Structure 1
Amino acid sequence: MLRFGKYTFDIATHGLVMGILNRTTDSFFDNGAYFEFSKFLERAEELVSSGAEILDVGGVKAGAGPAISTQEELDRVVPAVSALVERFDVAVSIDTWNSIVLDEALSVGGVCGNDISGFGDPKYLEVAARHDCGVIATHIRLAPRVPDPDPVYHDLYGQVCEFLTLKVNDAISSGVDRQSIVIDAGLDLGKTTAHSLELLARTGELIDDVGFPLLLSASNKDFIGGLLGYDVSARGPGSISSAIIAYLEGARIFRVHDVKGTRRALEISEAIADSVSPSRQVL
């Protein structure tokens, strides 16, 4: 079982689809198409009707770009989270590495902090524990928004596994419920195409070794384009293929742009997996 605030999910065999909702002007995928509030809400309605069980709201993109102040991130994210909670009965996570933004967004109904920095803000886990929310611990080599064009690891898998184990232990020590912790290998975050592919292929090992459910955030990322030279508009099939591979390896949360396509692919994968063998259980 996985618990994000008041929401509890049975993920033994079921894959959860997390719809990406960017309130940014410079997202690598939508380039600000949903920054206007009315467009943002229309997109949320589309994602929920397509089968999203979690909505992930972010106000600052992960990659390099113009500086965004804490107040600007608050202005982008907090009203958005409040509006989603009022309109839809789905779990809302906050894609932020800022504990101030997390605190405010949880106060208006968010139930999870999705932190790609690996809890770099020293107050992040304290805030999460106080709100009894979920957290997603992500591996990153440097820090969000810091270019990392030529990352080098002496032991990619070992370093990622060690990092994530440390972060989940930090979360538990801070008072976060074990059933509310998720890990993310951080594909493309300080990783080459080869690095991301290795981690995707070793999804099952990572789940077993760290002992927590895994979120796959692969949707339309550069490693998919890097395989065959596809630009971002042509990466949809690769994104769904990555989700299926990760599901069969034991991943159970999928952060995606294409909710409808991913949901349908997972339904087929779930049915096949259930018919031929017992599904992988995560602790």
Structure 2
Amino acid sequence: MSTPATSTAPLATAAPFYTPPLLHPIHHFGPQALDFSRQVALMAIVNRTPDSFYDGGSTFALEAAVAASLTAVDDGADWVDIGGVPFAPGPALSAEEEAERVVPVIAAVTAASNVIISVDTFLPEVAARSIAAGAHVINDTTGLSNPDLASVVAESGAHLIITHSLAAPRTIYPRPHYDDVVTEVAAFLSEKVELALSLGVPAEKIIIDPGHDLNKNTLHTLAITRRFNEIAALGFPTLAAVSNKDFIGESLNQRKEDRLEGSIATGVICILGGARVLRMHNVAAANSAIRMTETVMGWREPAYLKHNMGEVNEPAHPERKSQNGKSNP
């Protein structure tokens, strides 16, 4: 049985990669702590909606949503993002109905795992009920369109993700225009962070997201990806939600089900630009990509060292492991 390689020397971060000036590197989520100066959190996506962007409703049933969440944990997710309403334009859903979709999933996953849980909502009532059920984070993709949401988060001690988007919730925003999309997104996020702080959300509880594809065309989103460091430079852990999105499909002329490699490549580019949370559908593949990137960057050591380490170059045949690093028989 091979044992993980150990060393007493500190690991150094590879120089070519952008290191954001984090105001608060270590964030606490219930019993979990993440050091964003040395790790990237993998956020899995579980949508309890009949019309979700990627899976088309395959996890709408309660049992399916809970099972998908726990499978994501087994596959290496640090975090599960649970949603009850798509971002895409459509009819409004009442707070009661949205809460009925997400709260039972939160409760079941909390009972079975200590994974970090976020809820994708912009409604204060849903946020309050979700936090009471065990959610650690409120993921607001509408950029605090309702400031009361920040007040709910502040009172609870939960985290808040502030995302750049321009449209009113669930409405169309045709032909978005920016003179300089990255500069304008950074300014928007700075303004919304100040709003959240003024409403009592501590700086160490804030995460930001430039909103890939949200009220942006493909050229806008590619610019954000290329210049991700300018968003991460704001000093808050920055989330990259790139998985299987339309900018990848348009760039590569691919359907949603064919965008895995493009999603992984884009996610790694964002990490090298300072992203510290990666929101992905394909958890096992994303886990391997993230952990390999962390290893190259010097944040984690290889699981074992055998190649060219002895008198004979033995082939490396470790125990078969699951995606989260646990040994399987």
Settle same-fold status: TM greater than 0.5: yes
Q: Is the 8 A contact 1:137 1:182 kept in 2?
A: yes
Report how far residue 67 of structure 1 moved: 3.1
Give the Cα–Cα distance (whole angstroms) in 2 for the partners of residues 178 and 3 of structure 1.
Answer: 12
Work out the percentage of aligned pairs sharing the same amino acid.
37
> 1:27 corresponds to which residue?
52
Give the Cα–Cα distance (whole angstroms) in 2 for the partners of residues 215 and 21 of structure 1.
Answer: 17
Give the Cα–Cα distance (whole angstroms) in 2 for the partners of residues 243 and 154 of structure 1.
Answer: 25
* Structure 2 residue 313 is matched with structure 1 residue 266: no
TM-score (normalised: structure 1): 0.94
Q: Give structure 1 stretches of 5+ with no counterpart.
A: 276-283
Q: Is the 8 A contact 2:80 2:115 kept in 1?
A: yes
Report how far residue 157 of structure 1 moved: 1.6
Give the Cα–Cα distance (whole angstroms) in 1 for the partners of residues 160 and 142 of structure 2.
Answer: 12
Tell me the number of residue pairs that the alignment of Structure 1 and Structure 2 aligns: 274
Give the Cα–Cα distance (whole angstroms) in 1 for the partners of residues 255 and 289 of structure 2.
Answer: 22
Residue 118 of structure 2 is aligned with which of 93, 99, 118? 93
> 1:120 corresponds to which residue?
145
Q: Is the 8 A contact 2:41 2:277 kept in 1?
A: yes
Report how far residue 177 of structure 1 moved: 2.0
Q: Is the 8 A contact 2:103 2:130 kept in 1?
A: yes
Structure of higher CA gyration radius: 2
> 1:279 corresponds to which residue?
none
Q: Is the 8 A contact 1:188 1:196 kept in 2?
A: yes
* Structure 2 residue 70 is matched with structure 1 residue 70: no
* Structure 2 residue 202 is matched with structure 1 residue 177: yes
Structure (1/2) with the larger helix percentage: 1
Shift >6 Å, 4+ stretches:
none
> 1:17 corresponds to which residue?
42
Seen in structure 2, the aligned counterparts of structure 1 residues 142 and 65 have a Cα distance that, compared at 3 Å, is closer
Report how far residue 6 of structure 1 moved: 4.1
Seen in structure 2, the aligned counterparts of structure 1 residues 161 and 51 have a Cα distance that, compared at 3 Å, is same
Report how far residue 229 of structure 1 moved: 1.5
Of structures 1 and 2, the one with the larger relative CO (CA 8 A, separation 6+) is 2
Residue 199 of structure 1 is aligned with which of 224, 227, 250? 224
Q: Is the 8 A contact 1:5 1:134 kept in 2?
A: no
TM-score (normalised: structure 2): 0.81
Give the Cα–Cα distance (whole angstroms) in 1 for the partners of residues 202 and 284 of structure 2.
Answer: 31
